[in-house]
């Protein structure tokens, strides 16, 4: 009689443990629904469309700075070309004493 009670207890225990394992595995199969657009992946933690706009704005600023620097350099070269400096005598042209 003791063997039958022990056997029934073990069978019930294993059935409960198996049921808990199977229910926990079904919870693990649930998919987490994301609110992010799958066609707009993250780049450096921000959406790709926002990242693309940021890169384009930085490129425009860089091009504008380069253009301003070229204009300033050209003005400097024009100013240097307009200066009339007196000739600088060479050492060979100096009269010897």
Query: CA-to-CA distance for 57 and 67, rounded, in angstroms?
Result: 15
Take residue 43 and report the two structure tokens written for it.
């780049």
* pTM (2 d.p.): 0.46
- The pLDDT of residue 34 is 64
Burial class of residue 43 (count of CB atoms within 10 Å of its CB; 0-12, 13-18, 19+): middle
Task: Give residue-wise pLDDT tens across range 5-62.
Answer: 888 887 777 777 777 776 555 555 666 666 667 777 888 888 888 999 999 999 999 9
Query: CA-to-CA distance for 51 and 31, rounded, in angstroms?
Result: 28
End-to-end CA, the chain: 138
pLDDT exceeds cutoff 80 at 91 = no
Q: CA 70, 75, 76, 78 torsion: positive or negative?
A: positive
């Amino acid at each position: 009689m003791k063997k039958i009670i022990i056997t029934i207890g073990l069978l019930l225990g294993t059935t409960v443990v198996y049921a808990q394992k199977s229910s926990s595995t079904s919870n693990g199969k649930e998919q987490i629904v994301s609110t992010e657009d799958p066609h707009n992946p993250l780049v450096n933690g921000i959406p790709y469309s926002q990242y693309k706009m940021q890169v384009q704005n930085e490129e425009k600023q860089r091009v504008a700075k380069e253009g301003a620097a070229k204009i300033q350099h050209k003005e400097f070269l024009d100013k240097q070309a307009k200066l009339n400096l007196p000739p600088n005598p060479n050492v060979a042209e100096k009269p010897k004493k």
